[in-house]
Structure 1
Amino acid sequence: MQKIILYTAIFLLAFVSNLQAQENDSIKKLSFEKQANLIANTIEKISTEEKNALKLEVEAIDKQLADGKITKEEADNQKMIASQKRARNIEEKVTVEHEKLEQLVKDKVEGKINEGTKKEGTVIVIGSSSNDSIGKNRTEINLTAMKVYQGEEDKMKRLSKRTTSQFVFAMGLNNVVTDGENLDNSDFRFWGSHSYEWGITGNTRVFKNNNLLHAKYGLSLMYNNLRPTDNRYFVKNGNVTELQNGFTNFKESRFRNVYLTVPLHLEFDFTPKKFDKDGNPYFRTHESVRLGIGGYGGIRVKSKQILRYQEDDQCIKVKQKGDFNVSNFNYGLSAYIGYRATSLYIKYDLNPLFKNNAVNQNNISLGVRFDFN
């Protein structure tokens, strides 16, 4: 009987492995643009599924709160845990797909992919497309925006939709505004403290026949880093978090907070109306001056302090994880102005960085933002 079970298990394992091998072979036989399109669709699907799953979890928690089964504090804690889980899922799954895309491009460059017969070939774009004309049968692969256009007609149709999507990446300087002080006297290095953000946004034209006003919304991960001055680091003393002098000479003292945020903006896009060869009007976005005003709200995913120092000829790196009394939720105002895909932005948290400190410190960041359409 045991031998029968063993042989059955081996057979099933071999059968499943064979199916997986056949599926992998089928994918490898696809053209470069189709494989890239599959990866791009998978990345978009990951974000949508995780966002929908988080929404359902939050609704379930709110129902428990409304029914009196849990307290407000328990509900907030469960929401934070759920958001952290979904943020990690997005980051881990998208990283896997990015690795697949990098390998695919490498295989393309090394000539390992059989493209078959192409009438007009394939063009690979990094960043925003310079124009709409790519040829009737040519394929354009925009690696940055994670989009694949099958010919000029397909590209024009998709770019002219009332709702489009963009991959957003932003980076800049980060600091805090302290009550009673100015940034010139900040406790943090001006050039050494940075902010990063990446995510996916949707852009919907508000009026059907006017291109000026757009609603911009999405989901992103935001990383705020602070590097204290004068060889100091953060120490949690009960409900208060304060800067203290270092116990040694630090090579690096960095405090990082990661947030899962939902940005909401009203965008003014001054891209003029265009006309096709038959005289029919259509609209584009991100081809002229843009101005966005709005805000954001999110939940803290994690906080971490990194300390590096030398001891007995050894370089020691310490990572301290915890809440550090940082506010679990963040919300604030933001604005940006730019041309085409590139713009300058500023963000200001309305909530204090630390929940219980006697003096409020509000995070502020400014830098460069890229909306790859």
Structure 2
Amino acid sequence: MTKITLYLAVAISLLAVKVSAQNDLTFEVKVKLIANKIDAITKEEKAALKIELEEVNKELEAGTISKAQADDKKLQLAEVRSKNIETRIGQAQEELKDLVKQKVDGKLKESKNQYFSIVIKRDSIRKVRGESRTTSQFVFAAGVNNLVTDGAVAGSDYRYWGSHFYEWGVTSNTRLFKSDNLLHLKYGVSVMYNNLRPTDGRYFVANGNQTDLEYSSVNLKDSRFRNVYVTAPVHLEFDFTKTKTNAEGKKLFRTHESVRFGIGGYAGFRVKSKQITKFSDNGHDVTIKEKGGFNTNDFIYGVSTYIGYGETSLYLKYDLNPLFKDNALKQNNISLGVRFDLN
């Protein structure tokens, strides 16, 4: 295929997508557009945070602030950027929820140009992507969350289905060998939300350097403890997507089209901890939100793995360090759920 032909194919594809965008975009394409928006928000806030952290480092080098002050300032900046991301992503998530509702209600039209726009896109634009050794994905994961105590989750003090986690982020996926598509290095940045809901109307109380579960003096309707982290996950990924060949006999190394298996880990820092309790008082619903450290570890590191087909996989992650710093009983967070890697 000549360059002129390729450019023409891409131009036709973009024109087709633009035309169909008026009213006839498919559900899948609209989801991709929202994912791209979330990706752009994350990159923008991350770039802004990087600049701010560099300014703090300059202050530290100049001696205008101490090391402890610099660390505190960095944590505050990271928390602000995390809140910005959470707010802006929340708006995009509402768009996604509305889109899913429209899909369920059958209000989305089938694209009249579906064959033209999508097939042209797959046969032209994806060929260009298939020639690149590094691709990027938006990652979203959600599932159940709990603590491992004495090597087991059985008999947990936390609700199995009420305790949950979710994670979102962006990753780069680099093919390790020039002419083989099996091994990839997957790396990026993620925001993790780990939630715990204690059983029997209990909640967390910080007693000195110990954090204990205690029974509430009022009948709690809900008790939830949330920890938010910014992490850098790294995985070695085995992708069994078959190599394809274009009309010119050139190999195209596509990803996320067959069985995939990843193994690796993550490391990062805690952005915030929050406990939410709900109860009734004289006929009034009361919600109390407590922010604080609760003696949790400021840093997090662990191992994770996933296996699946295409863009969907089963996902497991386990923290190697305990949730609380100095508790006599060491408890490590574990999460199991579904993960989506969207190209």
TM-score by length of structure 1 reads 0.74
Q: Which runs of 5+ in 2 are unaligned?
A: 1-17
Query: Could you tell me whether the CA contact under 8 Å between 2:174 and 2:186 is conserved in 1?
Result: yes
Kindly indicate whether residue 165 of structure 2 is the aligned counterpart of residue 195 of structure 1: yes
Kindly indicate whether residue 341 of structure 2 is the aligned counterpart of residue 356 of structure 1: no
Q: List aligned pairs for 1:137-216, cutoff 5 A.
A: 137-139=116-118, 150=121, 152-178=123-149, 180=150, 182-216=152-186
Question: How far 1:256 sits from its partner (Å)?
Answer: 0.8
Find the aligned partners of 2:337 and 2:155 in 1 and give their Cα distance.
20
Deviations 1:307-358 (A, max 9, x none): 1223323332222222222222212111111111121121111222122323
Aligned to 1:272, the other structure's residue is in SS state coil
Which of the numbers 246, 253, 256 marks the counterpart of 1:283? 253
Query: Could you tell me whether the CA contact under 8 Å between 1:163 and 1:203 is conserved in 2?
Result: yes
Question: How far 1:99 sits from its partner (Å)?
Answer: 5.7
Aligned to 2:304, the other structure's residue is in SS state strand
Kindly indicate whether residue 77 of structure 2 is the aligned counterpart of residue 82 of structure 1: yes
Kindly indicate whether residue 229 of structure 2 is the aligned counterpart of residue 250 of structure 1: no
What is residue 302 of structure 2 aligned with on the other side?
Answer: 332
Aligned to 1:52, the other structure's residue is in SS state helix
Which of the numbers 268, 288, 293 marks the counterpart of 2:238? 268
Query: Could you tell me whether the CA contact under 8 Å between 1:353 and 1:362 is conserved in 2?
Result: yes
Closer/same/farther in 2, CA of residues 220 and 235 from structure 1, 3 Å limit: same
Question: How far 1:61 sits from its partner (Å)?
Answer: 3.2
Root-mean-square deviation (Å) = 3.2
Closer/same/farther in 2, CA of residues 339 and 161 from structure 1, 3 Å limit: same
Counting matched residue pairs gives: 316
Question: How far 1:95 sits from its partner (Å)?
Answer: 3.6
Question: How far 1:159 sits from its partner (Å)?
Answer: 4.5
What is residue 204 of structure 2 aligned with on the other side?
Answer: 234
Kindly indicate whether residue 104 of structure 2 is the aligned counterpart of residue 94 of structure 1: no
Amino acid at match of 1:372: L
Closer/same/farther in 2, CA of residues 357 and 208 from structure 1, 3 Å limit: same
Question: How far 1:204 sits from its partner (Å)?
Answer: 1.3
* Bigger Rg, which one: 1
Which of the numbers 290, 294, 306 marks the counterpart of 2:276? 306
TM-score by length of structure 2 reads 0.80
**Percent of aligned positions with the same letter in both sequences?**
54
Query: Could you tell me whether the CA contact under 8 Å between 1:220 and 1:260 is conserved in 2?
Result: yes
Find the aligned partners of 1:45 and 1:200 in 2 and give their Cα distance.
10
Find the aligned partners of 1:268 and 1:110 in 2 and give their Cα distance.
36
Find the aligned partners of 2:97 and 2:113 in 1 and give their Cα distance.
17
Question: How far 1:174 sits from its partner (Å)?
Answer: 0.9
Amino acid at match of 1:165: S
Find the aligned partners of 2:286 and 2:233 in 1 and give their Cα distance.
38
Q: Which runs of 5+ in 1 are unaligned?
A: 1-26, 112-119, 124-134, 141-148
Amino acid at match of 1:280: K
Find the aligned partners of 1:264 and 1:100 in 2 and give their Cα distance.
30
Find the aligned partners of 1:31 and 1:213 in 2 and give their Cα distance.
40
